[in-house]
Chain A
Amino acid sequence: MPLERVSQGFKDISMTFQSNPLTSDLIALKNENAIARSIRNIVFTIPGEKFFNESFGSNINRSLFDNIDELSALVIKDQITESIENFEPRVDAVKVVTSPDFDNNSFDVVLTYEIIGADIPPQELQFVLQQTR
């Protein structure tokens, strides 16, 4: 019988640095929240931003200034998938749907993934990609 990997659970610090009003501890992000945060970090990091790890991140910001069409959406989708596969070992079966939103000049991204080794249902993460300058 194959060994079943069961994780102890994931716990990350919150970038808001807010404290719990009762315990005065820093607020922690747990399990699926921690992983969702991590995925957002990976996607939004431009390669070269992280010290001594210049391949970390994804190149989507380059594609945001291209024409808003299905082709660009496909490129962005590939970049997101690749970066998550490379840098987030905790998730599997990543499915990315990017759809151009012509009216708002942006892309809607919907990510679906499973968390490895945790008894958590498949997760969905949505965000909008829009050039800001």
Chain B
Amino acid sequence: MKLVLEGVQKRFGDRTVLAGVSLEVAEREVIAFVGSSGSGKSTLLRCVNLLEPIDDGRILLDGDDISVPGLAPDPIRRRIGMVFQSFNLFPHLSVVDNVALGPRKVLKVDKRTARERARELVARLGLADRADAFPDQLSGGQQQRVAIARSLAVEPEVMLLDEITSALDPELVGEVLDVVRELKSNGMTMILATHEMAFAREIADRVCFLHEGRILEQGAPEQLFTSPREPRTQQFLQRVIDSGRL
């Protein structure tokens, strides 16, 4: 197993956001988390890459416990890449420098090589002509693709994608999803939190429905989307269908 979560719990003050999440993710597997806002999807991802410390439970990467309190997080975070809903690009750096920063500082690659590789990576994602532009000069879809390139540049083993198309105009969503498809075909292990049901259906090996901090139901997309077992899953899906997103 690449990534294992055992009974992960997370509280903010007296509010329990994750009430015991257990999950096994195999290498090359793509897991999609769906659920209403506030169900804990983002929190879960932030716990996996140690941006948030968990209150109980364990997280294992390749069998090693990475949730030990006091463990140095930086090497772990390099191995678990994260892409955010709001891109979080560094506005004072050009696209190439954004993507090259990680390799330079974390992988200790020299500046010239890092920038060359960054340029190649950015070109592969279709942004060769914007390589020297600055984030504020790009469209949302372009920025998100740069964000993905930036995460890929440090050669992660797992990618966490937190609602990466939620902030995008509909016509820009496609270009980002294309990139994710390519990541999957290259064998990247991924966990995505998403509202794009059609996409989750297409790309995920397994879909988990997160409700009130727990995985209420999980299964192959065909099975979960067409014949969910839990009533609440059905309610959720019904709402999604009604709003025209499935």
Pairing of A with B: no
State the B residues within 8 Å of A (CB): none
